[in-house]
Copies of this chain bind each other. A is one copy, B any other.
Amino acid sequence: MDTFDQTLAALADPTRRAIVQRLGGGEIRVTDLAKPYAMSLNAVSKHIRVLENARLVRRRRAGREHFLSLDPQPIEAIGVWIAEQKAVWAARLQSLDALLQAEDADAINHGKTGHD
């Protein structure tokens, strides 16, 4: 699994998206981060691990406390991918449009409109 795959897979889980959203507001300790969730601290710890592997989250150790922060880069990479896809769709629609116009021109040359 490459990093891009990992980013998408990581974000596919609602708990992890909530964590990402929370970290968008700034650094936070593991325990504090875990507090709102109905699952064990261990489970949250595992989610954090997944986010770290996807490079979405960085960890700063200060004594026994671990502070987590967001790395927005992988999310932006997804944004880029989406933009690329949109470009593909746009290109296709444009060429469809060109095709229709060419047909219209052709129809006019043959003395009919192609429309009803």
Given contacts A5-B14, A8-B8, A14-B5, A82 and B78 within 8 Å (CB-CB): yes
On whether the beta carbons of A88 and B25 are closer than 8 Å, the reply is: yes
Q: Which of A70-86 contact B (CB under 8 A)?
A: 70, 72, 75-76, 78-79, 82-83, 85-86
Count of identical protomers in the assembly: 2
Query: Which residues of the other chain, B, contact A12 by a CB distance below 8 angstroms?
Result: 5, 8-9, 12
Judged by a CB distance under 8 angstroms, whether A21 is at the interface is yes
Q: Which of A8-38 contact B (CB under 8 A)?
A: 8-9, 11-14, 20-21, 24-26
Q: How many residues of A contact B (CB 8 A)?
A: 26
- Quick one: closest B residue to A22, CB to CB? B88
Taking Cβ atoms with an 8 Å cutoff, the residues of A that contact B are: 2, 5, 8-9, 11-14, 20-21, 24-26, 70, 72, 75-76, 78-79, 82-83, 85-86, 88-89, 92
Query: Which residues of the other chain, B, contact A92 by a CB distance below 8 angstroms?
Result: 24-26
